[in-house]
């Protein structure tokens, strides 16, 4: 995809040169959301423009750059780009702006539909929030359309529709978790004879799965299956990480609203949080039932190793 330089919008005929008049070069709205979501969990860093940490405009700039669209570096520069869009006409991919400082435009995110936007929050890192939340609703300034992101053509044949498919370009499969952990722990993956009934010795990550199974880190379900191509929840991941890195509970425990005493994952989640491997997803929640993203997997392993 070719890069397209975005020009500030002036009250002149330069509007005719708007960067999104050629929709053929634009990504689809699914590509936009997929690209934005893959960074969920990356921490906030003032002035950050990399996966080590983003500030708000560094995040939006990175997402659009991944799609071949160049944005200005700062929130104010991005606010001066594109065409104004009313709140009632927001489309996926529109930039939404807020006054969080009391001095004008100071925060930006990307609208992803259903009244939600993804952004790099100073308290949560890259996350998804609702425009209707009182904090954001009271600070909303406006929106700009930088490019149009058309919907993909929906397959008409029922057999081609996968309504419950998991996008593993965003989320981590159990096999990928095994692969990454085996590398991080420097395990011997030469033995591919797993006793899981659904893991063949010829499978891509059979060695990693077998190594983790032998180490007592991964266990099968009630049918002795590993379920290589299934996602893994954050609660399940907490148990795996505690076992893999032999983490012990520290003094600074954190209580999460969605993982209370009596929950099977309570000890594992608190252990993980006390070791600062996770701080949850915000608003006091851990996100126990949320599927782990690839970005979160990388961050979890990096933090657990340190």
Q: What is the pLDDT of residues 58-115, one digit of tens each?
A: 999 999 988 888 899 999 999 999 999 999 999 999 999 999 999 999 999 999 999 9
DSSP 223-243: TS---TTSB-BHHHHHHHHHH
Which residues are designated catalytic? 56, 107, 119
Highest mean pLDDT among 137-141, 216-220, 301-305: 137-141
CB-based contact 95:109 (threshold 8 Å): yes
Local confidence band at 248 (pLDDT 50, 70, 90 cut-offs): very high
Q: What is the pLDDT of residues 138-177, one digit of tens each?
A: 999 999 999 888 876 444 333 333 434 688 888 899 999 9
Q: What is the pLDDT of residues 184-199, one digit of tens each?
A: 999 999 999 999 999 9
Taking phi over 0 as left and psi of -120 to 50 as alpha, with beta for the rest, 231 belongs to beta
What's the distance, CA 284 to chain centroid?
18
Please tell me the distance from the alpha carbon of residue 58 to that of residue 37, in angstroms, as a whole number.
15
Residues with Cβ < 8 Å from 85, sequence gap 6 or more? 91, 94, 142, 143, 144, 145
In the chain, the N- to C-terminal Cα span, in Å, equals: 38
Coil vs helix vs strand at 265:
coil
How would you classify the pairing of strands 107-113 and 116-121? antiparallel
């Amino acid at each position: 995809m070719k890069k397209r330089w975005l020009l500030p919008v002036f009250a002149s005929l330069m509007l005719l040169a708007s960067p999104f008049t050629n929709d053929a070069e634009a990504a689809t709205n699914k590509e936009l959301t997929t690209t934005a979501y893959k960074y969920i969990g990356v921490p906030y860093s003032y002035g950050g423009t990399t996966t080590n940490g983003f500030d708000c405009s560094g995040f939006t700039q990175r997402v659009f750059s991944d799609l071949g669209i160049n944005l200005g570096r700062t929130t104010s520069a991005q606010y001066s780009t594109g065409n104004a869009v009313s709140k009632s006409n927001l489309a996926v991919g529109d930039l939404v702006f807020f006054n969080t400082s009391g001095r004008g435009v100071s925060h930006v995110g990307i609208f992803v539909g259903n009244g939600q936007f993804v952004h790099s929050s100073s308290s949560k890192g890259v996350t998804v929030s609702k425009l209707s939340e009182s904090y954001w609703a009271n600070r909303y300034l406006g929106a700009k359309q930088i490019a149009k992101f058309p919907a993909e053509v929906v397959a008409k044949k029922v057999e081609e529709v996968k309504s419950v498919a998991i996008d593993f370009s965003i989320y981590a499969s159990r096999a990928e978790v095994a692969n990454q952990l085996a590398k991080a722990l420097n395990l011997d993956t030469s033995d591919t004879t797993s006793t899981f009934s659904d893991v063949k010795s010829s499978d891509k990550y059979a060695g990693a799965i077998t190594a983790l199974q032998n180490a007592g880190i991964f266990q099968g379900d009630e049918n002795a299956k590993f379920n290589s191509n299934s996602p893994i929840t954050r609660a399940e991941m907490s148990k795996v990480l505690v076992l893999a890195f032999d983490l012990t509970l520290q003094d600074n425990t954190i209580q999460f609203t969605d993982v209370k005493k009596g929950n099977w994952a309570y000890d594992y989640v608190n252990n993980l949080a006390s070791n600062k491997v996770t701080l949850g997803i915000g608003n006091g929640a851990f996100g126990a039932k949320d599927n782990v993203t690839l970005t979160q997997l990388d961050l979890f392993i990096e933090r657990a190793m340190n």
